[in-house]
Amino acid sequence: MAGILILGAGAMGSAFCFPAADAGHSVRLVGTHLDLEWIYSVRETGVHPKLKMKLPGQVLPFTHDQLSEALSPACDLIVLGVSSAGIPWAVEQLAPLISNTTPILLLTKGLQARDNTLQILPDSVRDGLAGHGVKNVPVAAVAGPCIASELAARRHTSVVVGSSEATLLGSIVPLLATPYYHVRPSTDVVGIEVCAALKNFYALAVGYPAGLLARQGKAGNGALMHNLAATLFAQALAEMTQAVSFLGGRQTSVMGLAGVGDLYVTCQAGRNSRMGCLLGSGLRYSDAKTNHMADETVEGAELAFVIGPTFDRLFRQGRLDPKAFPLATAIIDAICHDLPMEIPWAAFH
């Protein structure tokens, strides 16, 4: 039995308690300062309000000011389930309390701008801890199609754990496997992390046809807009392949769980698809966010604000070909410049 600490008591961090506990481990769930209501609920009733599920009995809930206490028993794995914006906070909280021997597993998805390019989050976490004097911490990441509510319901879920260190993968993968949580290793951590981040971004575009359909209505014969959604899905994969290759990942990851698998499931529902639907209905991003999704974090839109200026710089420097990213450019224009979403048909494929 291992000791697993999960920092971040949102939907995904809390859902991860299920396979971790079912694999026979002791689990400590530590909420951030934004998760107090959920932690209090778990303490009082065992039920997580966001998941609407009772967490396994061996899960012990802690508030963020109890992180030191939660780490004091033997901890074999630290899992980060905070938002991408919460990564710097998590690094600051953990740095004074951990050594460089405890591995970290990221559930968080995203990219960060650094040195005129984009950096995957495992590198950001490792560099952030090193800046606090905790160097060479082993960091891995989870990617793949995983809806939190389905994981909490113990539905079959397949994911990939990525790390450039084969020995780290050899210790983490068997630690997490259960009859319903199917874990596969990958040394292409760059590829799976770029896919994991960009699928939220491109899901904005694949959600667009639903809003356009609502605006224009069904055709006289009842026809919908599946053709348009499929076109945008295919273009998204083509552009993800270009981005993965540019950042040093393997193109094969785009065709696996982290790429096409995760993009597919993200487009079925969720905040990114809903924002895309609002854009398709004719709203501008500022209106959609302020008046319809004010209290929700839209990961794809947040990523647009990160990659938008970086892509523009890389285009101007000639390091990236703008002709290879017409859909990304359309999304960035809609989010970062608050323009109406337009589909650049002539530039596709």
Catalytic (active-site) positions? 199
Tokens 């596969």 belong to 184
Tokens 């981005």 belong to 243
- The strand pair at 111-114 and 117-120 is best described as antiparallel
Q: Is 90 helix (H, G, I), strand (E, B) or coil?
A: helix
311 token code pair: 């892509």
* CB 122 within 8 Å of CB 189: yes
- The contacts of residue 38 (CB under 8 Å, 6+ apart) are 9, 10, 14, 31, 48, 49, 50
- Alpha helices of the chain — where are they, by DSSP H? 11-15, 17-22, 36-45, 67-71, 87-94, 121-131, 148-152, 166-176, 189-206, 208-216, 226-246, 262-268, 271-280, 285-292, 299-317, 326-336
Q: What is the DSSP string of 140-200?
A: EEEES---HHHHHTT--EEEEEE-S-HHHHHHHHHHH--SSEEEEEES-HHHHHHHHHHHH
Paired strand residues for 27: 4, 59
